[in-house]
């Protein structure tokens, strides 16, 4: 199977696996326990905290370990809604684990920051609105999971600073693909290990300095009372080992070649599949992600099933539990109609993906394109799906 779904989850790196195994054997104690085994685990945890903070460019005391980005994002909005009376501005492109807690915690106080057709949030909307109001929090992700479009988070930090407003950045898709340094400037920052070769079920939250957090999970003093529950020591050490490894690759600029392969693929796609269209084509994007509208209008699942049969794992872009999904709200926010958005497929490569893999995907898309264009094929694929 050639895997083009790294934005959904990424295989465990050997370094992370080794770190997990070592930590499981070497640190059997609970970091909160008073005996030596406990303090050894606690020391290992703090060393991991220092390393992660150094990579992000913040202080170790600002790092809270969590079960993943869904928990981290929920924590930010849970806290923010309890300490501020003003509204919250959240980009319309955010992951549902930001949008839904924002709706829940800020009912009636949520303003969506619109996006442009390019796949990037509308910075002018923020600038204009700042002339009349100040929210309690502004949330803009670093890179979009569906389109790969990079968001102007560094500019939004400056705007927020000028108005003394806190800035929250979901950096799940950026961390481990582009340099982490600088992200520590965000007041609130979240990340998830399994998106960059760490294990699933572990992530982090960076909080503002000298601020007490209203915890989402209560019932224990862990993480300076900011997140109750025994820390996942092997998972955390494995996450940090994975990020260290990815940061080395990023430092060597290994992604520049990978970006060229993605660009070659995109250039050749419209020739191979007339009627296809690259989404957010003009925006700066992650080197690994292509979102493309397929020429066929009726059912994107057909493409996923057929590509699967040819040995390629791809995604329709948005998470889908039922197999019959809604067209992407991200594409909708960019101004695509529902029938257009229903044609979207997402191809997300990893660090191990090669130029040959991209070319093989192109050939497979051409095969599927020729196949789905044949009359009577729609009913056949529907039957396979049911
Ligand atoms: N934020 C973004 C941008 C994501 O892409 C994802 C996962 O797809 C999440 C948050 C959720 O992360 P986790 O799986 O760690 O809960």
Average pLDDT for 350-378 = 88
pLDDT digits (tens, 9 = 90+) for 138-159: 999 999 999 999 999 999 999 9
Residue 326: its pLDDT value, please? 78
Rounded average pLDDT over 306-311: 96
Percent of the chain with pLDDT over 90: 87
Question: DSSP assignment, residue 352?
Answer: T
For the stretch 215-241, pLDDT in tens is 999 999 999 999 999 999 999 999 999
Active site residue 320: yes
- How remote is the CA of residue 69 from the centroid of ligand 1, in Å? 5
Q: Which of 9, 95, 197, 317 should be mutated for ligand 1, with most atoms under 8 A from CB?
A: 95
pLDDT value of residue 384: 52
Average pLDDT, the chain: 93
Residue 357 pLDDT greater than 70, yes or no: yes
Question: How far apart are alpha carbons 151 and 286 in whole angstroms?
Answer: 10
pLDDT band at 320 (very low <50, low <70, confident <90, very high): very low
In terms of Cα–Cα distance, which of 99, 94, 39, 42 is closest to 65? 42
Residue 47 has pLDDT above 80, yes or no: yes
**pLDDT higher than 60, residue 347:** yes
Q: Of 90, 99, 172, 317, which is best to mutate to test ligand 1, by the most ligand atoms within 8 angstroms of its C-beta?
A: 172
Which pLDDT score is estimated for 299?
A: 67
DSSP state of 344: E
If you measure from the C-alpha of residue 178 to the centroid of ligand 1, how many angstroms do you get, rounded to a whole number? 16
Q: Is 303 exposed, middle or buried (0-12, 13-18, 19+ CB in 10 A)?
A: buried
pLDDT tens digit string along 144-199? 999 999 999 999 999 999 999 999 999 999 999 999 999 999 999 999 999 999 99
Q: Please report which confidence band the pLDDT of residue 377 belongs to, taking 50, 70 and 90 as the band edges.
A: low
Q: Give residue 205's pLDDT.
A: 98
Q: Does residue 57 surpass a pLDDT of 70?
A: yes
Determine the pLDDT at residue 380.
Answer: 53
Does ligand 1 lie within 6 Å of residue 68's CB atom? yes
pLDDT at 138: 98
pLDDT for position 151? 98
* Mean pLDDT confidence for 99-118: 97
CA distances from 97 to 60, 82, 118 (A): 25, 18, 23
Distance of alpha carbon 205 from alpha carbon 171, whole angstroms: 10
Burial class (CB in 10 A: 0-12, 13-18, 19+), 190: buried
pLDDT band at 321 (very low <50, low <70, confident <90, very high): very low
In this prediction, residue 130 carries a pLDDT of: 97
pLDDT in tens, 9-25: 999 999 999 999 999 99
> Band of the pLDDT at 316, cuts 50, 70, 90?
confident
What pLDDT, in 10s, does the model give residues 117-146?
Answer: 999 999 999 999 999 999 999 999 999 999
Mean pLDDT for 343-367 is 97
pLDDT score of 80 more than 50: yes
Q: How far apart are CA 212 and CA 224, in angstroms?
A: 9
Q: What is the pLDDT of residue 371?
A: 84
* Ligand 1 centroid distance, CA of 348 (Å): 14
Q: Is the CB of 69 under 6 A from ligand 1?
A: yes
Q: pTM value?
A: 0.95
- With 0-12 CB in 10 A as exposed, 13-18 as middle and 19+ as buried, what is 80? buried
> Ligand 1 atom 10: the closest Cα is on which residue?
69
Q: Identify the pLDDT of residue 301.
A: 80
Which pLDDT value is given to residue 386?
A: 43
């Amino acid at each position: 199977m050639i895997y083009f779904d790294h934005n959904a989850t990424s295989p465990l790196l050997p370094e992370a696996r080794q770190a997990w195994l070592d930590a499981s054997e070497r640190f059997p104690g609970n970091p909160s326990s008073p005996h030596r085994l406990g303090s050894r685990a606690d020391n290992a945890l703090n060393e991991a905290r220092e390393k992660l903070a150094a990579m992000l460019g913040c202080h170790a005391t600002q790092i809270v370990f969590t079960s993943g980005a869904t928990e981290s994002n929920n924590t930010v909005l849970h806290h923010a809604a309890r300490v501020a009376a003003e509204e919250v501005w959240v980009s319309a492109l955010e992951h549902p684990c930001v949008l839904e807690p924002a709706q829940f915690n800020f009912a009636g106080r949520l303003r969506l920051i619109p996006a442009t057709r390019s796949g990037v949030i509308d910075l002018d909307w923020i600038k204009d609105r700042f002339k009349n109001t100040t929210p309690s929090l502004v949330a803009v992700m670093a890179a979009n999971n569906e389109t790969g479009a990079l968001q102007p988070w560094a500019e939004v930090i400056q705007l927020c600073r000028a108005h003394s407003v806190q800035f929250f950045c979901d950096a799940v898709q950026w961390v481990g693909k582009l340099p982490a340094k600088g992200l520590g400037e965000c007041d609130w920052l979240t990340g998830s290990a399994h998106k960059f070769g760490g294990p699933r079920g572990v992530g982090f939250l960076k909080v503002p300095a000298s601020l007490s957090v209203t915890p989402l999970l209560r019932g224990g003093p862990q993480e300076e009372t900011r997140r109750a529950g025994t820390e996942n020591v092997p998972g955390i050490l494995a996450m940090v080992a994975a990020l260290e490894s990815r940061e080395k690759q990023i430092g060597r600029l290994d992604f520049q070649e990978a970006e060229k392969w993605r660009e070659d693929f995109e250039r050749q796609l419209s020739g191979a599949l007339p009627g296809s269209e690259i989404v957010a084509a003009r925006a700066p994007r992650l080197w690994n992600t292509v979102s493309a509208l397929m020429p066929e209008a009726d059912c994107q699942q057909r493409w996923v099933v057929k590509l699967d049969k040819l040995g390629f794992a791809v995604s329709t872009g948005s998470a889908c539990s039922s197999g019959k999904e809604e067209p992407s709200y991200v594409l909708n926010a960019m101004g695509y109609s529902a029938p257009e958005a229903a044609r979207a497929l997402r191809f997300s490569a990893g660090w191990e993906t090669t130029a040959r893999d991209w070319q093989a995907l192109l050939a497979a898309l051409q095969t599927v394109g020729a196949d789905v264009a044949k009359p009577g094929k729609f009913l056949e694929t529907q039957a396979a799906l049911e």
